[in-house]
A and B are shown apart, each in its own frame.
Chain A
Amino acid sequence: MTTPANLKYTKTHEWVKLEADGTVTIGITHHAQEMLGDLVFVETPAVGCKLKQGKECAVVESVKAAADVYAPLSGEVVAANAELADAPEKINADAYAAWMFKLKPDNPAELGGLLDAAAYQAIADAEKH
């Protein structure tokens, strides 16, 4: 699967999409779900929760592994994808469609510090070898 060019990325395998209303949508990358294997549990942050960039804010679990999801930006959680609680496999099926939560960023300029698709792809490729 190609890494969508319209998204921003983190070294810790989150993707970030800037929406028209200024909020951002966040999920984990295709490469991340591939490394974890079949997901069995997803915990999303509570709406209203204030997140700080780089801090743990969610968890994804497979049978043999668990990974923390880190907030790519600071901000307030405005929505969480409730569907994932019953169907974590949606992330395996399409990691870029199965978003985890939406943030209202405190400082939209932080978005500029994130990776673009090519830079992230290079990191993912390096991990595969």
Chain B
Amino acid sequence: MAEATPDPGSLLPLAPAHLHVLMALADGEKHGYAIMREVELMTEGDVTMGPGTLYGAIKRMLKLGLIEETDERPDPELDDERRRYYEATGLGLRVLSAETARLQQLVSIAQAKQVRPGTAFGLRALAA
């Protein structure tokens, strides 16, 4: 009997490291260093994942079924065979979608309450 797929909502909110890794894998499989680089690029250098943080997140995400190891190599000629590549699973992509929707909703609330930088609240927060 096939195992029941968990409800994406039950895995929210995502840990920041999990969110970053899933976002990095949203457009295709990558190996560990490529994931780390992509996260750095996406966050404009604000988030640098060390080997411990990255592989700790990968271990938990493999267990949750959010990502899986893949045998495919984008270009075997250019790459080291020993590297392990990971890709987001269907569940992983659904969870990513649900999490970004949740964050978007939060941002909308922040906008409505004018608590973002550049608004009156933001200026008061800066002055405080």
Whether A and B are associated in the same complex: the answer reads no
